[in-house]
Amino acid sequence: MLGESRMNTDTDTRPKFMRFVRNFAVPIIIGWLLLTAGLNLLVPPIESVARNHAVTMSPADAPAMIAARRIGAKFHESDSDSIAMVILESDHKLGPEAHRYYDGLVQKLDADHKHVQHVQNVWGDPLTAAGVESRDGKAAYVQLNLAGDQGSTLGNESVKAVRETLDHSSPPPGLKVYLTGPAALTTDMNDAADKSMLTMMGVTGVVIMIMLFIAYRSVSTVLLVLVMVGFEMGTARGLVALLGNYDLLGFSTFVVAMLSSLAIAAGTDYAIFLIGRYQEARQAGLDREAAYYSMFRGTFHIILGSGLTIAGATFCLHLARLSYFKALGIPSALGLVVVVAGALTVAPAVVAVASRFGLLDPKRAVKVHGWRRIGTACVRWPGAVFATSLAIAIVGILIMPTMKISYNDRYYIPKDLPSNVGYEAAERHFSAATMNPDILMIESDHDMRNTGDMILLDRLAKDVFRSPGIAMVQSITRPLGGPIEHTSIPFQISAQSIPIQENLQFMKDRMGDMLKMSDDLGAMIGSMERMQGLMARMSNSTHRMVGDMHAMQTTLDEMRDHLSDFDDFARPLRGYLYWEQHCYNIPVCWATRSVFEAIDGVDKFSENMSTLIKDVNDIDAIMPQMVAQFPPIIAVAKSMRGSLLTIHSSFSGLVTQMSQMTDTASAMGQAFDASRT
């Protein structure tokens, strides 16, 4: 009765907007139908707009992007971050036929100035060919700098143009050609997402229809919900496509997926709100018109608040630096606003028209008692409900540290996509890092084509190679990925005195180790002498402690005996205390009972003390034996220190003589040392 009176109260007020929607329901539906049809028929599909107006996935202000453009500008190679790899793989070692095919392919790619900005023709030069050829000789690759950033419309077109060039080429028998790399992987990922949209929407629609039919047991209700969702999603997609087609919004394939998902989810939820509230009012005995106003009155603020909250949250994505996330902000928020507008206009209008024909009347009784019990429990015990919810949330949070985040897009696309197939072919012959190179540019204010700077560049390459995660470094001093054989200055210097210099530094280092070992032995001897004194003091203290513990045990035994006498005398009282069922409610009873339990603990304590005294007696016997072991150990350590100092003194003179024999080599090595400046 309370719920019915509350519904009657809701129908007493009929705001103008609600009356307007009901009175002009048919024109509103026709208007939305024309708007939805116009946006979807006169504007290119949103999937097509996403392909033709895609934004790059890389933030322009990122240090890596700034560096990539600076490198491209300095070397006059490219102005984008799109890097692709053409892989040549053969069943046998690459021969003259493969080289001729490669030369012709490079010429075709060089001629496509619209899509290919630079071709790093390393394999075409015999001097540098080994740098891009596998060790087994069955594969090679060429790196391309494509026009357009990764994920952008021009970048995707460039990848497709290179693929067409490869498809129209005629490799010799046994030679396979693949296009892979970061740019190709990004394009394939976008295409896979685009092609999966139709499947996703179809499956979503089927699932929604099944769930709605199970809930409402009415085909007409299911169809009406789909009509509402169709109006809202179609208009939202069309409006975003219109703005994106005129470059008023940034776009990507993920905008289509997120917008469609949000529109379907929110539109379905709002339709369920309206129909559920309407059927609840009808079941409460209201007529169709009163049920309509009760529905509108009870749901419009929920729809408005929920929709604007989600729209505001998605709009915050516009503040992200990554363009893929930034592009999601405004389109998603705008689409949610359209869905909310539809849920407050055309959806109630559909309900108003359908209610005139009884299409939305409940087919079976709506059970609300279970939900009312849940609501009552939340109001009656808010602390317990909050604590339970918080505990469940904490369990989920505790799982988060085990999550492993991966930024490898290959894990999230089908394995049969061309770029993934190319990666697998490349990894059969090259390391995984070869297909994802990082480029480091060294820039100075002078010409570095001189001996000193070449040495510096080579040293820098060595330091970079030693860094964790670096598999190979190719540079002007290392065109093949490693030092050129017999060309380093240290090798030229050491070649004049190899037999001596190979051992000289080793001997100096070992002499230094001898001195260090001697110092360490001295420190160890001092520590051991101090430890010997401490152990002797500890042995004396332990002996005294044993005597004290024996005295303490005697006292404890006396206490145990006296308490046992008392326990024997008060045993009837003790029996009563343990017999009394409500003893814990009587302070005197419970306190007296605690005293008897403490008396029982004294007996256990006496037994534990006997065991402890046995262990302490063992320690008292061992400690003097340990103290007696220190003098021999200290004597051996002093002998070893004397021997080390003698050996060091002998080798010092020998190393000095060997150093004088290599004065000429040291003088020549000064040129190498000068390269540090």
What letter would DSSP give residue 172?
P
Amino acid at residue number 144: L
pLDDT of 486 strictly over 60:
no
β-strand partners of 478: 475
Closest among 33, 126, 154, 144 to 86, alpha carbons compared:
144
Residue 391 has pLDDT above 50, yes or no: yes
pLDDT at 3: 43
Checking if the pLDDT of 211 tops 80, the result is: yes
d(CA 337, CA 315): 11
Given a contact cutoff of 8 angstroms between Cβ atoms, the answer to whether 235 and 289 are in contact is no
Spatial neighbors of 459 by CB under 8 A, at least 6 apart, are 675
Q: How confident is the model at residue 355 (pLDDT cuts 50, 70, 90)?
A: confident
- H helices present in 131-218, as ranges: 153-167, 182-216
**What is the phi/psi pair of residue 258, to 5°?**
-70, -40
Band (pLDDT 50/70/90 cuts) for residue 32 is very high
Q: How confident is the model at residue 577 (pLDDT cuts 50, 70, 90)?
A: low
| Cα(112)–Cα(108) distance, integer angstroms | 7
434 pLDDT more than 50: yes
> Which pLDDT score, from 0 to 100, does residue 20 have?
92
- Identify the pLDDT of residue 658: 66
Burial degree of 462 (CB within 10 A; 0-12, 13-18, 19+): middle
**Mind listing the pLDDT tens digit for each residue in 170-190?**
888 889 999 998 888 888 888
Between 76 and 24, the higher pLDDT residue: 24
User: Is 84 within 8 Å of 186 (Cβ atoms)?
Assistant: no
Q: Are 368 and 40 in contact (CB under 8 A)?
A: no
**What are the tens digits of pLDDT across the range 439-476?**
888 888 888 888 888 888 888 888 888 888 787 888 87
Give the sign of the dihedral formed by CA 379, CA 382, CA 386, CA 387: negative
State residue 453's pLDDT score.
85
Give the whole-number percent of the chain exceeding pLDDT 70.
83
Residues sharing a CB contact under 8 Å with residue 645, sequence separation 6 or more, in sequence order:
518
Place 579 in a pLDDT band, splitting at 50, 70 and 90.
Answer: low
Tell whether the model's pLDDT for residue 40 goes beyond 70.
Answer: yes
pLDDT at 318 over 60: yes
What mean pLDDT is reported for the chain? 80
Distance CA 360, CA 615 (A): 86
For the beta sheet containing 116-120, the strands, ordered from the edge strand earlier in sequence to the opposite edge, are 116-120, 139-146, 83-90, 175-180
SS3 74: helix
pLDDT, position 134: 87
pTM greater than 0.85: no
pLDDT at 676 over 50: no
Select from 329, 60, 331, 51 the least CA-distant residue to 190. Answer: 51
Q: What's residue 475's pLDDT?
A: 81
Residue 508's pLDDT is 72
What pLDDT, on the 0 to 100 scale, is given for residue 493?
Answer: 59
